[in-house]
Amino acid sequence: MIPRVLILLFLFIVSNLDVVGQNITIKGIVKDNLKNPLSNVSVKINNSEEEVFTDATGFYTIDVPQKGKLVFSQEGFKTQKIAVKGKDIINISLKYDEKAFKEKEVNTGYGKIKQSESTISVSSVDEKLIEQENNLDMATFLRTVPGVSVVENGGELGITIRGSRSLMSSDAPLIMLNGTQYNGSLKNLNPRDIKSIDVLKDASATATYGSRGANGVILITTK
C-alpha cells in the first residue's frame, strides 16, 4: 500500500498547482498625481500579450494570474509595474514623466509653450487615437479627455469642461483652430485633417485668453 504521507503530499502538490493556475479578476482606477482620472492607459499582464485600456473615468478590469504582475503605461507618464499578490482591486496614480513633457509643446495661439513649463492644466487627445485610420469623429476624440463632457444635440456638439465655469450665460469653452478663435461647428472639421487636440481645463487659462478662456480652451491644430 502507498504510505499515507505520500498520498497527503500528492494531494498538497495538486491543490497548489490548481491555485497557481487560477486567474482572478482585478479592477481599479488609474489617476495622475493630481488625482485626475486617466483614460487610454495601457494595463498589461507582464510578459504577456493580454492588454486592456482604461475608459474615460480611468476604470479598467482584467483577468490576471494570482501571482502575476500588471504593467501600467501611457505616453507622458512613468511606467509602473505592480505585483497582484491576490488583490482584486488595484488603484494607482501614475507620475508625470518630466522628460517626456519637456518635449511636448502646446500652441496657445499666442506662441508655443512647453507643457512642463505651463501653469495651466493641460490634457491632450492621444496622438495614436487621432492617427487611426477609421471613422472616429471630434466627439469621440474629446470624450477621451478626462473632465470633458460631450453631448450631441440636434447635430451639434455641446461641450463643457469640468472645473471651468464662469458667470457668463454659456458654459461652452473657447475653441482655437491653428491659433485663431473658431466659431464654427466641430462637426465641420475633418478628423483626418487633425494633428493634435489639447484641452486647457482650469480657470487659469484666463491668464492667457482673458474672460474668453474662463470655461476652458480647446486647442486644435491641423496637419
In this prediction, residues 197-205 reach a mean pLDDT of 75
Q: Please report where in the chains the cell 482604461 appears, as a residue.
A: 54
pLDDT of residue 72: 95
Least confident interval from 29-43, 58-72, 99-113, 154-168: 99-113
For residue 141, being part of any structural domain is answered with: yes
* Same structural domain, 124 and 90: no
**Which of the four pLDDT bands, split at 50, 70 and 90, describes residue 155?**
confident
Domain count, the chain: 2
pLDDT of residue 20: 46
Residue 114 amino acid letter: K
Residue 63 amino acid letter: D
* Same structural domain, 35 and 14: yes
Tell whether the model's pLDDT for residue 66 goes beyond 80: yes
* Same structural domain, 159 and 205: yes
- Taking the C-alpha atoms of residue 171 and residue 176, their distance in angstroms, rounded to an integer, is 16
- Taking the C-alpha atoms of residue 165 and residue 172, their distance in angstroms, rounded to an integer, is 9
Question: Can you give the residue range of the structural domain that contains 33?
Answer: 4-94
- Domain end residue (candidates: 38, 63, 94): 94
**Which of the four pLDDT bands, split at 50, 70 and 90, describes residue 18?**
very low
* Same structural domain, 50 and 143: no
Q: Give residues with Cβ within 8 angstroms of 199, minimum separation 6.
A: 122, 123, 124, 125, 142, 145, 147, 148, 161, 173, 216, 217, 218, 219
**Which of the four pLDDT bands, split at 50, 70 and 90, describes residue 37?**
confident
* Same structural domain, 41 and 122: no
* Same structural domain, 57 and 120: no
* Same structural domain, 13 and 82: yes
For residue 99, being part of any structural domain is answered with: no
CATH number for position 210: 2.170.130.10
* Same structural domain, 139 and 158: yes
* Same structural domain, 109 and 214: yes
What is this structure's pTM?
A: 0.51
pLDDT for 2-17, tens place per residue?
A: 566 555 555 555 455 4
- Domain end residue (candidates: 65, 94, 123): 94
| Eight-state DSSP code of residue 116 | G
- Taking the C-alpha atoms of residue 31 and residue 90, their distance in angstroms, rounded to an integer, is 12
The total number of residues shown for the chain amounts to 223
- Domain end residue (candidates: 71, 94, 117): 94
Q: Give residues with Cβ within 8 angstroms of 109, minimum separation 6.
A: 176, 179, 180, 181, 208, 209, 219
* Same structural domain, 157 and 108: yes
* Same structural domain, 33 and 114: no
Least confident interval from 44-48, 155-159, 196-200: 155-159
CATH number for position 71: 2.60.40.1120
pLDDT for 117-127, tens place per residue?
A: 555 667 778 77
Tell whether the model's pLDDT for residue 186 goes beyond 70: yes
In this structure, what are the phi and psi dihedrals at residue 179, rounded to the nearest 5 degrees? 85, 0
* Same structural domain, 81 and 191: no
